[in-house]
Amino acid sequence: MIQAINRRDAIRHLSGLAAAAIIPEVHASTHTKSKIKIGACDWSINGHSKIEALDTAKKIGLDGVQISLGTVANDMHLRRPEIQQLYKKASAETGVAIGGLAIGELNSIPYKSDPRTEKWVSDSIDVAKAMGCRVILLAFFSEGDLKNDPAGKKEVIRRFKKVASKAENEGIVLGIESWLSAREHMEIIDAVGSPNIKVYYDVANSTQMGYDIFEEIPFLNKQICEVHMKENGQLLGKGLVNFEKVKKALDDISYQGWVQIEGAVPKGGDMLTSYIANNQYLRQLYKS
């Protein structure tokens, strides 16, 4: 149960104030009238750290793709100007936007402990600015998990404090996605003290952890920088998450920007067919 927010919280929040059949490609002219933009994570559409993810996104009918900074194997290749240019060219050719940036490798190479990650995060700010996107997802799962790890949280706070001014100067937001509750996320954000450290909210992960997402969303309010519209082992709207209520909760906090589809493929299901259905589901949901 989320408790009543204190005076500092109040000031902070107030200040912020399907048929699954393959169909022809959906183009921008058919996209939603709302200010919500619909994308997908490159790793969810069989395109982790691959430019081809933009072609797949065009087939699905998405507005954009949340792209990965890279992998250890390619040395976070999006830091290279020539790779950035290839992505920009593909974006222009497909009409699919670069909808955000993510560093998923932090799951296996933790930000809380590995020295390499500080440069990755710092460099990702430059990359995001060069690619014209505002939000960078920083993943804190698996080896990078912060749940019940006070020492890890303390080190993450220390590292965020070092890089926060750069994010602020460049207008880039670093979004924490983790198993933490809304209040635990706010402990980190308040300790860092930067408006450019926020929460990357995943409705399925929070549901899995037993958090009440319909209390957490209004509590976090403007501290939510972006949202994963995710379901585990089911199409969107067919699983545990009530996406109609999610839309209302996001509308109530005047959320605008990207929602990125993640997961949401039934067991044994085809990714492309599933993502066309997921995209159609969200577009129908956001028509009103």
Q: Taking a C-beta distance cutoff of 8 angstroms, is the pair 32, 41 a contact? A: no
Is residue 149 over pLDDT 60?
Answer: yes
C-alpha span between 285 and 235 (Å, rounded): 14
Q: Tell me the three state secondary structure of residue 39.
A: strand
Residue 11 has pLDDT above 50, yes or no: no
- Residues 23-58: tens digit of each pLDDT: 333 333 334 445 899 999 999 999 999 999 999 999
How many CB atoms are located within 10 Å of the residue 82 CB? 7
153 to each of 176, 192, 240, how far by Cα in Å?
12, 11, 30
pLDDT at 35: 84
- Mean pLDDT score, 62-77: 98
179-188 burial, b for 16+ CB within 10 Å, e for fewer? bbbbebbbeb
**Rg of the chain over all Cα atoms, to the nearest angstrom:** 18
